[in-house]
Amino acid sequence: MVDWQSLFEPRILERGLNYYQRGHVAELIEEDGVISAIVTGSEDYEVELDFNEEDNLGLYCECPYAAELNTCKHMAAVCFAWEDGAKQAAPAFSKSELEESVAATDEATLRAFLLEILQKDQGLAQRFMGKSQKSGTDGNAADPYLQVNQIVNRYTDYSGFINYDRAFGFASDLSEFLDTVAQQLIAEERYHEAFELTNTVFQTIGEVEIDDSNGEIGFLGNECYEIWQQILSLVDSDMKQKMFAWFSRQLDELEHDFLLEIIQQVIAEEFQEFDFAEQKLRRVEEMLEEVDKQEDFGRDYSLAFWGTMKAELLDQLGKPEEEIEAFYRSMWDNSEIRQSYIQRCINQQNISRAIEVLKESIVLDKEYRGVVGEYSTQLKDLYLELGDKKSYVKQLYRLIYEDDPGSLEIFIELKQLYPADEWLPIRENIFKQLAGEVELDDLYVEEQRYDLLMAEVEKSYLLYKTQSYLPILKDRYPERLLEKYKKEIRSMLYESSSRKKYRGIVYLMQDMKKIPDGKKVLAEFVQELRATYPRRPALLEELECV
């Protein structure tokens, strides 16, 4: 069974188990090694577990937290459901039996037992608090500021700081608070209160002093985002207007960079109705003016973010093409804006214009090799789409020699254009031209040029590359590999003097046993080291483990 739990941080694992135990996993289906399910919560998300890769587990979820390449609670919930076979164990006692037992127990015993259980399980405690608030005389939830502050105070020290050891508990309790109280309010259609409560949590995590080494702030910020999405899907236009106004204000008031990015994402991706387009455009223009005055390192990124949004809004509002084109040109020095314009041209099937701008961008951004490589790849794909084979092949050669030198993907794409006899001299020329400039190891493996690969391994630093290609080379070049191991281990020992380093070196020496005749050579090598370093008792002791 795959060790899936090691893929999750402890707090995520705990939240996933809580979700599973509370019945949030639905429609669990297994087909051809892929398990899919719907996880309900602040939003319904589709989750997939892919077991098709040997000894690996592919995880996918639609939620915003997973979109940032994180493993989320929804994934964990489905993993728990899969492991348990999605079968709830039969209860030990029936409902009627429990009712009889409760009826036969005096009130003092019941209260003491309930208090004991709630103190041990914060999740149940939050649910109970929600139930007790619901049954209160005024029918209103307690002041959200008070409830959130109680959680904050529970974990802060005398100086108002939440340290590393307490950060997990803080995030878990606040997350449980959102999952229970906010969801209760939403279920009762008290959307405004749910929104205010979620906002309180969001603003609190932006102000609290915390050791965020494990990403608790990002985790909670994305929890808030999920609840906002749920509320937006349920409320009328008047409530949406109030929500938009609040998000808009946060752009000026928030100081926490990551949380500010979440607010920007909400404004960009939500409120897609036409009624909000003009409002969003005015706010975006204000942000562009403000960002343009900045001189920090994030200026270009912010200009690209708001500029791209403005272009999309101009399009949504049906503005003349000349106006949209003029706006793009006004920000032409920003490569992200040009990328947005190129994509717009492609979407409009104006391929010739996209090619023209890509060529211009290669010149404008010539100092940034990675960006140029992206432009060049796009250009290659567009030539292929147009059926311009001559330009397509020319662009492939430019990529392999200049813009993305040594790329295995481009190498294989080029190889597929030629018969085997024509390809050989082209391949050798590529190796000759690029040798010494970029690593060609993957290309050597692709072409089974193990002689060239072995030569690179021998020249490589320490044993990192040697270990990587040991399975491929050990039966072809055993003597040379064993000499490489001995050479590098001698060098490492010359510079090492601690038991910890000796232990690491001895661990590396075990690889020699995997090579033909390696056990014999290793035994002789150990004797050599014992003779060379007779006054290093720690090394001699570690060598006993070989």
pLDDT in tens, 205-228: 999 999 988 888 998 999 999 999
For CA atoms 405, 408, 412, 415, the dihedral sign is positive
- Which DSSP state fits 449? -
Average pLDDT, the chain: 88
pTM of the model: 0.67
- Helix H, strand E, coil C: the string for 314-382 is HHHCCCCHHHHHHHHHHCCCCHHHHHHHHHHHHHCCCHHHHHHHHHHHHHHCCCCHHHHHHHHHHHHHH
| Of the candidates 123, 72, 26, the residue with the CA atom closest to the CA atom of residue 226 | 72
Is the pLDDT at 89 greater than 60? The verdict is no
CB half-sphere exposure, 426, CA atoms < 13 A: 17
Q: Are strands 34-39 and 161-162 parallel, antiparallel or unpaired?
A: unpaired
Using pLDDT thresholds of 50, 70 and 90, give the confidence band for residue 5: confident
pLDDT at 139: 40
pLDDT at 132: 54
Instruction: Give the number of other CB atoms < 10 A from CB of residue 286.
Output: 14
pLDDT digits (tens, 9 = 90+) for 297-352: 788 999 999 999 999 999 999 999 999 999 999 999 999 999 999 999 999 999 99
pLDDT at 91: 46
Higher model confidence: residue 507 or residue 20?
Answer: 507
pLDDT at 50: 84
Is the pLDDT at 2 greater than 80? The verdict is no
Stretch 27-42: mean pLDDT: 82
Question: Tokens 């409760």 sit at which residue?
Answer: 102
Stretch 146-175: mean pLDDT: 89
pLDDT at 6: 82
* Lowest-confidence segment of 120-129, 317-326, 371-380 by average pLDDT: 120-129
Stretch 16-40: mean pLDDT: 84
pLDDT digits (tens, 9 = 90+) for 294-303: 877 788 999 9
Is the pLDDT at 33 greater than 50? The verdict is yes
Stretch 520-534: mean pLDDT: 95
Give the DSSP H or E segment for 30: strand 25-31
Is the pLDDT at 203 greater than 60? The verdict is yes
pLDDT digits (tens, 9 = 90+) for 91-116: 456 667 777 888 888 888 888 888 77
Residues 6+ apart with CB under 8 A from 181: 126, 129, 130, 133, 141, 144, 147, 197
